[in-house]
Amino acid sequence: MESPKPAPTAAPITGAANDVAQELTAAQWAQIMQQLGAEIAGPLSAALERIHNLTVTGQIDRQSLRTLRESVGHAREAGMLGQQLARLASGRLRLARERLHLAQLLRGVLAQRSRDTQARGIQIRQMLKPIEVMADGALMHSLLNALMDWALNSTHSSIDLRLDLTPWPHKARLVCRFAHRSQDLTQAALNTAEPPATLNSLAWRLVEQTALTMGVLPLREDQAGITVLTLEFPQTMGEDDAPAPPAPPVIEPAAAAKPLTGSHLLIVSPRQELRSQLQSAVQHMGLLTDAVDSVAQAADFCAEGLPHVILFESALRSPELERLRQDLSLDAPGLCFIEVLDGEQLTQLSTATPEGIARISRSHVDDALPSVLRFELSKPQ
């Protein structure tokens, strides 16, 4: 089964999902880079036009301001996707296998995205069997998040997720199904219409390449307005399988340069010098970083989409912040909070504090913050 014709794709996919996939050629990577340039240049061109109008008229209405913000956001997202694709293309990424509860991981990702799905009015139907697989934990998390990004941007209705086992020999199989065209169209129109460009966006390229890197072949069918993606995991644990000790991770320096690429950090502090220090301490980690001045601004930011980590200065501790933390924890139990203190303070991980908030002294930020972030973002939820 082949991906649709309009966009450049990897080598044609044939056979079962456990077949060996071919690596992309230099020409195919060049096509992806061309697509990356287009997805960055398009939104930035629209933003530049809005800015030009602003300089000419000296005025901008609320709708134009929102459009400007969205254009810059789309360009930034494309840049982050390109960064993640480059990491996969480096050829130096070594996988560390561990036993993962796939259904629990997927539910955690769905909880993290619940506000986004509710804001878009998209229903996600789940039929998830409790299945464990052997895979790289960081890449699995990236794959599930990339899958949701792609599906949410492509669907015209709901999203159906099914996790079950194939017939013997048993393998975990994750199936994602959604309508990529409005179902109000006639059947004839659905049968003849070309699939939309969003199906082959950079978000799809990230799903595809992350899966291939993990040894999972993505099988996709697009027909009659419906898209069905099947991911079959080659190493599935049975009930009688003893837990295998994970192989020690071996990561080349080039692969470790951006260890948390794709994770989103929100800094909350009214002090510009502290925000700059925190951003400088994590700039080598590949994080998507935003900053706001107050708890109220953090609440507004999170209403549009949840980050993975909220880093806040101690002076903002208040009932308002605690209410925000409790509200967000209901939607995303895995959301991490890290408090930055001005005085001398031993670094504490969230597992060592009663309220589950990690703490770090500002004087230790440069040395210890990267390690704290790695732990908080990789701990079991």
Closest CA to 350 of 333, 330, 367: 333
Does 354 sit behind a cis peptide bond, omega within 30 degrees of 0 on the bond before it?
A: no
238 phi and psi angles, rounded to 5 deg: -90, 170
* Region 33-53 average pLDDT: 79
Q: Are 202 and 81 in contact (CB under 8 A)?
A: yes
pLDDT at 104 over 70: yes
Q: Are 68 and 47 in contact (CB under 8 A)?
A: yes
Q: What is the pLDDT of residue 245?
A: 43
Q: What is the pLDDT of residue 7?
A: 39
Check residue 348 and report its DSSP letter.
Answer: B
Q: Which residue has the higher pLDDT, 225 or 129?
A: 129
CATH architecture of structural domain 258-378? 3-Layer(aba) Sandwich (3.40)
Give the count of beta carbons closer than 10 Å to the beta carbon of residue 304: 10
Of 86-100, 266-280, 304-318, the range with the lowest mean pLDDT is 86-100
Q: Which residue pairs from 20-28 have beta carbons closer than 8 angstroms and sit at least 24 positions apart in sequence?
A: 21/212, 21/217, 23/212, 24/89, 24/209
* Region 219-224 average pLDDT: 86
Q: What is the pLDDT of residue 140?
A: 87
Q: What is the pLDDT of residue 345?
A: 75
Q: What is the pLDDT of residue 230?
A: 93
- Of the pLDDT bands very low, low, confident and very high (cuts 50, 70, 90), residue 250 is very low
Percent of the chain with pLDDT over 90: 18
Distance CA 301, CA 295 (A): 10
Domain boundary assignment for the chain:
26-89, 97-237, 258-378
- Of the pLDDT bands very low, low, confident and very high (cuts 50, 70, 90), residue 17 is very low
- Of the pLDDT bands very low, low, confident and very high (cuts 50, 70, 90), residue 160 is very high
Instruction: Tell me the pLDDT tens digit for each residue of 57-97.
Output: 877 777 777 788 778 777 777 777 777 777 777 666 677 78
* Region 188-192 average pLDDT: 56
pLDDT at 288 over 70: yes
* Region 146-153 average pLDDT: 90
pLDDT at 218 over 90: no
Q: What is the pLDDT of residue 312?
A: 94
* Region 237-264 average pLDDT: 48
Q: What is the pLDDT of residue 193?
A: 62
Q: What is the pLDDT of residue 13?
A: 33
Domain 97-237 part of CATH 3.30.565.10: yes
Name the amino acid, one letter, at 116.
Answer: D
Q: Are strands 159-165 and 172-179 parallel, antiparallel or unpaired?
A: antiparallel
pLDDT at 278 over 80: yes
* Region 368-375 average pLDDT: 85
- Of the pLDDT bands very low, low, confident and very high (cuts 50, 70, 90), residue 28 is low
- Of the pLDDT bands very low, low, confident and very high (cuts 50, 70, 90), residue 271 is very high
pLDDT at 247 over 70: no
Give the count of beta carbons closer than 10 Å to the beta carbon of residue 111: 18
